[in-house]
Structure 1
Amino acid sequence: MIISFDFSFCKVEIHKDYILTVMAEGTTVVPKYNNLLAMAADQYYKNKPFVYISNRVNSYSVDPSIHIEMSKIQNLVGFAVISNDPLQKKQTQLEQSLFAKELRLFDTIKEAIEWKNEIIQKYFQQH
């Protein structure tokens, strides 16, 4: 079952073991948005690992410090970015330096979901 939310700054889909977001055009993603992610982690993924997948189809900016806060969510085991924009490659490299967990860039949702499956399986093998 997929649960969907439509906020003014993004669309969110809550899946069994991942969150998929599409940010609205022109949005600036700031640390206060992390509170929504933390609430979702508590409500939908209590004591369960999950991955955050950002489908970057629109143009928007990210305050990189948000990744420091995201890293504090215990059961968030990875962050996937989906984009084939060369500028996103550079942005993702910066974000990787601030995110204390695994963060990868993918061209397609399919690739991101395959990686999500691997990283969650790896989490269960380690715990």
Structure 2
Amino acid sequence: MKPTPPHHQLPESAVLKDVLKSKIATVYFYDDVAVVEAKEGVTLSYKTAFSLLISGLNYLRASSWVYISNRLNSYSLNPQDYRYLEKIPTLKGLAVVYESEIGKKNAEMEAKFFNKPFASFSNLTEAYNWARELLDA
């Protein structure tokens, strides 16, 4: 067990199991919920994040899981790359935590490119609770 970052403010039931750091992002594993925080100015794409994705899948093994994009920083992504994420059978949904109205509108646009459950939230706690409900259903 690792100490939960203070900015996560999650329910006590959320236990941080592991942290994976790379040049483009940090991934926090709360059992079967992966909270991804991309670094400022990076471009997240299938190509740039492939090794991070493989490492994460190795950690999660065959468990069902939910991806939460905690958007604390400004970075770019191509929502068409969501088609690759959709092919992961154990991925049950994706949530975006936005910091601004522009972030909210971007998430609403991105939802059109993802054909599994997708939701956007103004805080990480709500996103985590949604992920738990999705996994426990």
Question: What is the TM-score with the length of structure 1 in the denominator?
Answer: 0.87
May I ask how many residue pairs the two structures share in their alignment? 121
Query: Among the aligned pairs, what percent are the same residue?
Result: 31
1:118 matched to 2:133? The reply is yes
Pairwise CA RMSD of aligned residues? Answer: 1.4
Extract unaligned runs of 5+ from structure 2. 2-16
Q: CA deviation at 1:74?
A: 0.5
Q: CA deviation at 1:61?
A: 0.9
CA contact (8 A) 1:21 1:54 kept: yes
Deviation at 1:3, TM superposition (A): 1.2
Runs of 4+ deviating beyond 6 Å? none
Give 3-state SS (helix, strand or coil) of 1:65's partner: helix
Is 1:85 aligned with 2:100?
Answer: yes
Query: What is the deviation of 1:108?
Result: 1.1
Task: Name the counterpart of 1:23.
Answer: 38
- Cα distance, 1:96–1:16 mapped onto 2, change above 3 Å: same
Q: Deviations over 1:11-69 (max 9, x none)?
A: 1112211111111101111112145324422x222221100011101111111122111
Give the structure 1 partner of residue 119 of structure 2: 104
Unpaired stretches in structure 1, ≥5 consecutive residues: 123-127
Q: Distance in 2 between matches of 1:87 and 1:62?
A: 15
Structure 2 Cα separation of the partners of residues 40 and 90 of structure 1: 28
Amino acid in the other structure paired with 2:85: M
The TM-score normalised by the length of structure 2 is 0.81
- Say yes or no: does 1:68 pair with 2:83: yes
- In structure 1, C-alpha distance between the alignment counterparts of 2:63 and 2:22, rounded to whole Å: 25
